[in-house]
Structure 1
């Protein structure tokens, strides 16, 4: 217990100092953990396995992070913040119409999955469904980010319906969930460096969505 307290104090001090070398090594351990979480699952991965894969002992891991949960949260928090900021920039761009904004948002999210693989996929696989019932500060922040994305997509689809570029007979919530479903399901099959890149996939997703949302498209009730 005393040894653990010493390591915790050293970790807190190192984080406060903000050493570049410390940050590089910490980021390396976070990346290693993310890869193992994606390969083996969050629950099945141990800190000992992370330490071995990172080429350090378990005590050294504790010098950089306090727990496996902290490793996981560190892996996704910064990325989610950046994605949210980018989404707001696209949403506020007055030079784009609703259809263009949606296409750019789909591309931005898909490219983020590719560029920062596997961080967000670990979150989608392991924790996304539990966040709503989690009362921790981190979970609440993640829930707010998810709601912001949903709100932006809903507003843009509503704008498209009002402008006559999207059909009005499909509930907006259903169409938005379908779009998120396409994006989030990629955690089951997409890996960077494969036959298709993120931009191509995003373009096809947008094509599928926009074709289905065209006014005059066949209705399921027909």
Structure 2
């Protein structure tokens, strides 16, 4: 117990000090953890495996992160927060028409999946339901950010249907779920540097969606 407490104090002190070496090793652990979570899943991945790939024993990993859950949270935090902030800025941009905003939001999420690969996909892949059911402040904050993205897409589609720019015979919720489905399912097949780039994929998704929702 005393050893655990001592490591916790050292970790807190190192974080406050924020040396370049310490932060670099934390970033390395986050990157390794993201890859391990993506391949093996959160439950099957161990801190010992993550530490081994970083050249650290399990005990030393605790100097950087207090638990596997803390590592997972850090994997998600940066990507989710950056993506939502970008989507909110697009939504608030008065120089863009609703259709331009929706295209930009779709492009932004696909770009985030690429930039923060594979961390955001871990959330989509298997942990979304677990986080949604959690009552912790962190989990609720992530859920709130996810709901913000969903509300933005729903609002833009609703506006486009109301203005007559999109067909009205398809429910807003169904159309929005088509967008979410296309984007989120990429966790099963997309990899940065693969046959199709993130911009190419988002352009194709926009073409499919906007053509399908075109008023007839």
What TM-score do the two structures reach when normalised by structure 2? 0.97
Corresponding residue for residue 134 of structure 1: 134
Structural RMSD (CA): 0.9
CA–CA distance in structure 2, aligned partners of residues 191 and 10 of structure 1: 37
Corresponding residue for residue 75 of structure 1: 75
CA–CA distance in structure 1, aligned partners of residues 8 and 46 of structure 2: 19
Aligned-pair CA distance for 1:133: 1.5
Q: How many residues are treated as equivalent by the alignment? A: 216
CA–CA distance in structure 2, aligned partners of residues 140 and 149 of structure 1: 14
CA–CA distance in structure 1, aligned partners of residues 123 and 67 of structure 2: 16
CA–CA distance in structure 2, aligned partners of residues 185 and 18 of structure 1: 37
CA–CA distance in structure 2, aligned partners of residues 170 and 115 of structure 1: 33
Aligned-pair CA distance for 1:5: 1.3
Unaligned 5+ segments in structure 2 are: none
Corresponding residue for residue 47 of structure 1: 47
CA–CA distance in structure 2, aligned partners of residues 165 and 90 of structure 1: 19
CA–CA distance in structure 2, aligned partners of residues 160 and 29 of structure 1: 44
Unaligned 5+ segments in structure 1 are: 217-222
CA–CA distance in structure 1, aligned partners of residues 36 and 138 of structure 2: 22
Query: Are positions 1:207 and 2:207 aligned together?
Result: yes
CA–CA distance in structure 2, aligned partners of residues 149 and 58 of structure 1: 37
Aligned-pair CA distance for 1:204: 0.5
What TM-score do the two structures reach when normalised by structure 1? 0.95
Aligned-pair CA distance for 1:132: 2.2
Aligned-pair CA distance for 1:187: 0.3
Query: Are positions 1:89 and 2:96 aligned together?
Result: no
Aligned-pair CA distance for 1:49: 0.5
Corresponding residue for residue 34 of structure 2: 34
